[in-house]
Amino acid sequence: MIRVLLSEQEIARQVAILARQVSEHYASLVSISYPLVVLPVLKGASMFAADLLRQLNVPLRLEYLRASSYRNGTTAGALRFDVPELTSLDDHHLLLVEDIIDTGKTASVILDELHRCGPRSLKVCTLLDKPSRRVTAVEPDFCGFTIADRFVIGYGMDLAERYRELPYIGELEGCTF
Ligand code: IMP
Ligand code: MG
């Protein structure tokens, strides 16, 4: 059984607010020749990114990153991180898009890598934040919801590759992770 934590409507409302905040922040900073580079982290952030991107009002470029630290269940395995050929990111404004920031380890590794590209700025937009679990200094610049230390599924987020397709964010009943 799945208990709904954030309904489709609640998510949509918050994504619209985030899109407005992001658009306002970058409006005067980016241009057609220097677009905002949006970097969603696969697979979890794919659904959030698709909804967010369609409401951004600034010139942008889309580059997906792939990172996964959860191989099975809810226990973190070794972080795997693949960067596609990230050409000409130097001098651009970069926005990392995450589904959830938990310990912050994933975002921290990715941010270190992106810093090496020499960006004009580097910010983080996450739909969910679980600050109680943080073991790194990562703080999101744009955040949809702050949640307690619970394992959530849906809207792109998985438990052993399941439940990503749910349109809402929920918690498995009786799941004590
Ligand atoms: P971190 O490296 O601990 O911050 O974890 C980041 C990644 O772990 C996220 O991008 C998610 O893919 C995954 N993750 C963390 N917490 C959850 C959760 O509650 N449900 C599903 N995935 C999670
Ligand atoms: Mg993720």
* Cα distance from N-terminal residue to C-terminal residue, the chain: 15
Instruction: Count Cα atoms within 13 angstroms, Cβ side, for 128.
Output: 28
pLDDT digits 0-9 by tens, 63-119: 999 876 655 555 555 555 666 556 678 889 999 999 999 999 999 999 998 998 899
Residues around ligand 2, an ion, CB closer than 5 A: 44, 99
Active site annotation includes 99: no
Q: Is 104 in the pocket of ligand 1 (CB under 6 A)?
A: yes
User: Of the residues 99, 129, 171, which should be mutated to test ligand 1's pocket, given the most ligand atoms within 8 Å of the CB?
Assistant: 99
Spatial separation of the C-alpha atoms in residues 13 and 49, rounded to whole Å: 15
Question: Cα(88)–Cα(119) distance, rounded to whole angstroms?
Answer: 9
**pLDDT for res 90:** 85
**Centre of ligand 2 from the C-alpha of residue 47, in Å:** 11
pTM for the structure as a whole: 0.92
